Chains A and B, each alone.
Chain A
């Protein structure tokens, strides 16, 4: 750690932002800072992502990657038609992804709407992480997910509900309208307020994932700015998408976010997580992300506290690939669950 890094590390989040911005987090200061970040070479970024996606990962490396991917999955159900029964079966799948193979690892977390958090916590029982490093976490989407169009009071109440219900992680959405019209201060303040609402009575706080909804941000430069903004405001994770807007997670977008996280670590020594979500359906795709993480921020990021996949159908494909590697013949959808 360099001396400037250690100086940064000693500051709390608000003071660190003030030190970096050279003043309070006002619209003007944030705009000056975010627009001062060098632009992205879109062609270069896409080329780099395509190159990272062309690595050949086979046999034992592939087996390792598949198990790693399972342990990084936030198993997600975010449908209007979700029921307690569906959440219970989701938790069952999170606990035992492949009932035919006890060596199969568990997923990192289940991700549900706020009102279903108590159901998920109850279904997990002793397997609930509840702040510990082992076990499965419960993540809740909050702040008027997926649009984020509600007053701050409503958003904070939404977050408070989920945290009280036992959520270990909160996935918030930023106000894309405010971001795109340049009201960076408003977005910043909202993230800070939500972070505050993540605090529990005992002083600990639920991890905050900030969803940028990159599909609505239009340019890579905006993605980079939104990533910096979310990290400056104190997000523990930056997440690509809600999964409700196309395009959701893409490799170039995730790569640009990983670069921000890498730069943030160089600048302050602190580690921020990344979660691509939506649209990652095959093991092949997921392995591309694993390669990108290892090559951009390093293998130390391939841990549930720093990298997650937000996915629902990905798990089945990984399980089928895993079965293929164990049995030596191709598996089929009859051998995994119907979700």
Chain B
């Protein structure tokens, strides 16, 4: 007797929970060869709104955690990814149509990138901050602080897991919370990453993953007054000039699209892009 397969429902990841889309919509995910793989939730603008609310309420705890603690939490994600390698490789092979060894290489690189960014959590401040020279008996110190809620349009081409990790990890390092719109046609590894996050030490709401159409959600996220920064790294095919204009209306920080194999390559600049510099002075002493 042949066994009946139990297909998985791929849902959204918002506020530490896995809801279906508020709209009730789903769309078909097909393998590289065109075979039906799964139905994924097609998020609406209201799901995006809910995700922003979740990200906002998680911000205080995540930004308030010590840098050392954030580094540990991010490193733990890499540990869990390692344990789920087989699942990720399988999903990448199915959706991207690459060889298992190429998929394995992508997962390796994604895990290494988490670790690389996790290491920066308690170090980037030393590099991006400064004790400014002043001609007086006081200190003048510049420190980077997280920008707040960061919306991300994940890369829509290239490796589906690596692209997502490359965009999400740097924003998390400094203490931002994230709403990310995953790769539209290959969202399976994004939802599985959500499952990894849900079982890791990352507080609910710090990362919120939406699957569906970036063209539909990006304008709402760009114009949302409660989004502090938007990373358009994967928005190259959208009308991103207009997205930038919308974002400017509410003083939202913008990172422009990147294309090609080096898109969102690991750099300190991606971490610092989502920080605001606070400069303060302090007396040297009362001698």
Binding site for B on A (CB under 8 A): 323, 328-335
Contact = CB atoms under 8 A, between A and B. Distances in A.
B226 A331 contact: yes
A332 B246 CA distance: 15
Contacts of B223: 328-330
Which residue of A329, A330, A331, A334 has the most chain B CB atoms within 10 A of its CB atom?
A: A330
Main secondary structure of the interface of B (DSSP, over half): helix
Nearest to A332: B226
B147 to A, nearest CB: 13
Contacts of B250: 329, 332
Contact of B56 (A329, A331, A332): A332
A329 B224 contact: yes
Contact of A335 (B220, B225, B246): B225
Interface residues of B, number: 12
Interface string B208-238: 0000000000001001111100000000000
A280 B275 CA distance: 35
B118 to A, nearest CB: 30
Interface of B: 49, 52, 56, 220, 223-227, 246, 249-250
B224 A333 contact: no
Contact of B220 (A323, A329, A331, A333): A329
B248 to A, nearest CB: 12
Contacts of A330: 49, 52, 220, 223-226
18 contacts: A323-B225, A328-B223, A329-B220, A329-B246, A329-B249, A329-B250, A330-B49, A330-B52, A330-B220, A330-B223, A330-B224, A331-B225, A331-B226, A332-B224, A332-B225, A333-B226, A334-B225, A335-B225
Given A331-B226, A332-B250, 16 more contacts: A329-B220, A329-B223, A329-B224, A329-B225, A329-B249, A330-B49, A330-B220, A330-B224, A330-B226, A331-B225, A332-B224, A332-B225, A332-B227, A333-B226, A334-B225, A334-B226
A330 B226 CA distance: 8
A283 to B, nearest CB: 13
Which residue of B49, B52, B225, B250 has the most chain A CB atoms within 10 A of its CB atom?
A: B225
B249 to A, nearest CB: 8
Contacts of B220: 329-330
Nearest to A329: B223
A333 B49 contact: no
A150 to B, nearest CB: 39
Contacts of A329: 220, 223-225, 246, 249-250
The 6 lowest CB-CB distance pairs between A and B, nearest first, are A332-B226, A329-B223, A332-B225, A330-B224, A331-B225, A330-B49
A323 B249 CA distance: 14
